[in-house]
Amino acid sequence: MKKNHDKEKNPNHELHIIMYIFVAAFLVITLFFSSYVYLYAPKTINSAYNMRQQNLEKKVIRGTIYSADGEILAEEALNKDNVEVRYYPYKEIFAHAAGYSTHGRSGVEYAGNIALLTSNAPVNERLKAEMAGKRNYGDNVITTFDTRLQKTAYDALGVYKGAVIVMEAKTGRILAMVSKPDFDPNTVSENWAEVSSDTENSPLVNRATQGLYPPGSTFKTVTLLEYIRENPGSFSDYRFNCKGSFSYGDSKISCFHSTVHGQVDLLEAYEKSCNSAFANIGTLLDPDSLNETAEKLLFNKELPFDIASGKSSFVLNGDSSGEEIVQSAIGQGNTLMTPAHMALITCAIANKGMLMKPYEIERIENYRGTVIKEYEPKEYKRLMSEEEAEILKEYMTDAVENGTGRKLKDLPSGAAGKTGSAEYGTVKGNSHSWFTGFSDPEDPDIVVTIIMEGAGSGSDYAVPMARRIFEARGSR
């Protein structure tokens, strides 16, 4: 009787199994679509090939982009022919930061595109407008950009090609982002053929996030970190006698202008930016370990920006040649970085080793000013320990007090930083001018990273420029 009873239960048992399979399949599909909406839908909607944008533009008046201090950076307006156009009051100054919204999108016009084409006006207003065949007002995007710092950085860069990025170390807020050569977003549509084909100047490229440059001596901070990690109890015992150059096999590394630094310890080698000493340090390190440290610092990885960004590259391993080893140790050779990546590493140092996720949108509001969404500071990844960050901060502070960044020495808040003169091209002596650092080492405020293409010494060009930005922040 028991066996017969079990057989009678089998059909229900099989139905339960089938039901469980369908439930599991349903959950998997739901999870897939949820993850797609969260992770991929924004990119899909922002695609220039997505026809949904055109449909939204027929129903919604694109929202306004504001700076953090309330200035309009982009808005819908009527031109002299009474035709609706996208108007950018600050023209070239915010060209790459605010971006453009024609022939594709860039900057905040890209990152905030969904919000700008979405209307959260009161429901009754939306229904009334739709019934009348009128468009609703899209939501407004309030950015983290500070117009004063943006204009200071823009003016300070002057006629040089290059980029500037200014961030808050503790929050990840992007306060300024400048790239030159630039363009006027008000006329980019009518001048698209000319602007987009200018391969010599590449004005549409945001050099702050997409420009790839040899980092030069600014990379010595990474080499220094690796040396500290490989010699945790004795790194301060390092000594080197600099004679203006260092030979390793068939390779020869010279200090800037072949300067003879004499007997230096690790701190003095860093503050004086001694190429010879750091090339020597490179030969003492484990290449595979240095590569691992570089990758933990986000080399060869996508950066956590909401706008288009390049991928920095670092290639070194146990099979690398002596030339590759010494060149990589001083930020030359095959090493390339974006200024934005350099800023992120500097932010982590200033913020006790923790990198905050960079962001440029503060909040979304409907056209009446009602807050729809706010963005808060968010931890992204720990790049180094607090102890390591403190040591690097001390070295960067000393580089300002006694080394190549001394033109920042008398700032009221103080500063910490590292200069770089990165050689490029085939003409010996041609170099990009770098600086990366932060104000108020005791309680770090803003991070400033600068690249000036072909300008020369970082201490002579990038540092005075950084000073203008630090002073503008201090006088707010």
Give 177-193 pLDDT, tens digit per residue: 999 999 999 999 999 99
Q: Spell out, as residue ranges, where the chain has pLDDT lower than 50.
A: 1-3, 7
* Amino acid identity for residue 226 in this structure: E
- Residue 18 is predicted with a pLDDT of 77
List CB contacts of 424: < 8 A, sequence separation 6 or more. 213, 214, 430, 431, 432, 454
Provide the pLDDT for residue 1: 46
User: How far is 11 from 17, CA to CA, in rounded Å?
Assistant: 10
Residues 432/214, Cβ–Cβ less than 8 Å: yes
Identify the pLDDT of residue 383. 98
How high is the pLDDT of residue 55?
72
pLDDT digits 0-9 by tens, 348-394 = 999 999 999 999 999 999 999 999 999 999 999 999 999 999 999 99
220-230 and 275-284 helices cross at what angle (nearest 10)?
A: 40
Position 161 scores a pLDDT of: 97
Distance CA 267, CA 235 (A): 10
In the chain, where the domains are located: 2-39, 216-359+379-474
CB-side neighbour CA atoms (13 Å) of 405: 30
CB 267 within 8 Å of CB 261: no
Question: Is it true that domain 216-359+379-474 has CATH number 3.40.710.10?
Answer: yes
b/e string for 53-64 if b means 16 or more Cβ within 10 A?
beebeebbbbbb
